[in-house]
Structure 1
């Protein structure tokens, strides 16, 4: 028979666990400025909660707005899928808007070491193209195709994945680029949303959700919906 105190403790632990989907995917919903993915948020600047066709989202001004969360949701993952729903609104050419970091920049703004995963965009006029990036011991791999451009001011699904041998990047379920990668799991760390961890390359636009799976998902199995 299960002891009542053990049962209550187990239920409390389940309640404290971030939302899961597809068994092993953690979902962060950016509908407030206090807690994201069950974790406290540190705010700099003045990001705003807005309404969107996809639900509430957080908007960033492209100058000083950023959120910091003390978690790297893909730490320890040997395979992964990192998804996000976002709306780029133009602005500066280089914008590094979702940064997962293990060591390095989070503690020393001048550091060039540490493991990281990033979603970035490059903006030219009224268009943008995706740049994903992973860095760690023995590997450094961007995926960027400047010819594959999209209009700003719309909502998009972006994803990057690793299946044990190939690193891939997607926009709205369409493959953008891929490359072989000798990836190794990253250590626990932190996240910044709205600019890079060392407070450069700010993002102008909005973020609705992110999802983190510990397996390589094909587009038909992505956790977050693709905007239509």
Structure 2
């Protein structure tokens, strides 16, 4: 159903229910937005810095830049903890460098359970690697043939709808797979490196959004 048609449908249903004096409950997806425009608090949560990440301009305001060697941010929160379905989006600029860069890591306190954004860099191009691991599931979504130039801003997303795990670059599907998934527990997040301080990121991050629901492409927060 198109977005406009769905809105009309909901409005018609609301009017009908009101005419019958029935209460209506609208349940918007639960989301958090993290804007990387400072080095003190992200998503209203305190940040621990390592190395010398710095603020740089982006088309939408400040972003945080990482040097690919030592720079990282750590936040004591797993924003998708408890989600049985989800959408994880980010706006970032990869600037080349090492082949493997694990630049956004959501880590549960339950062992190695995690959800990640990674990239693979091939000369002056990159491709997306979305990854999640937990009890009974272990899946990387990567399409090495779908490469993009470094030094530009991109929107990336990964979604899980209860059956299918999908990854996107600029709202274009990269790859997908069927897999089981169990909600992850509370934990923490690293940006600019893997949680164990490996595979550092060379580039910048402007924004991330975490939604406890599988959004459609039309609902992504594109820049």
Query: Taking structure 2 as the reference length, what is the TM-score of the superposition?
Result: 0.86
Alignment partners' CA distance in 1, 2:125 and 2:191: 21
2:87 equivalent to 1:90: no
Map of 1:78 onto structure 2: 84
Alignment partners' CA distance in 2, 1:66 and 1:91: 16
Query: 82-91 or 49-58: which moved more?
Result: 49-58
Question: Which entry has the higher C-alpha Rg, 1 or 2?
Answer: 2
CA RMSD of aligned residues (A): 0.9
The runs of 4+ residues in structure 1 deviating greater than 2 Å are: none
Alignment partners' CA distance in 1, 2:60 and 2:104: 19
Distance apart, 1:24 and its partner CA: 1.4
Residues matched between the structures, number = 196
**Structure 1 residue ranges without an equivalent (≥5):** 1-21, 105-112
Residue correspondence of structure 1 range 10-159 to structure 2 within 5 A: 23-103=29-109, 113-159=111-157
2:191 equivalent to 1:193: yes
CA deviation vs aligned residue, 1:169-202 (integer Å, no higher than 9, x gap) = 0000000000001000000000000000000000
Alignment partners' CA distance in 1, 2:50 and 2:117: 20
Alignment partners' CA distance in 2, 1:133 and 1:117: 6
Distance apart, 1:114 and its partner CA: 2.2
**Structure 2 residue ranges without an equivalent (≥5):** 1-27
Distance apart, 1:59 and its partner CA: 0.2
CA deviation vs aligned residue, 1:71-102 (integer Å, no higher than 9, x gap) = 00000000000000000000000000000001
Alignment partners' CA distance in 1, 2:109 and 2:100: 23
Tell me the SS of whatever aligns to 1:114.
coil
Contact preservation (8 Å) 2:55, 2:63: yes
Map of 1:219 onto structure 2: 217
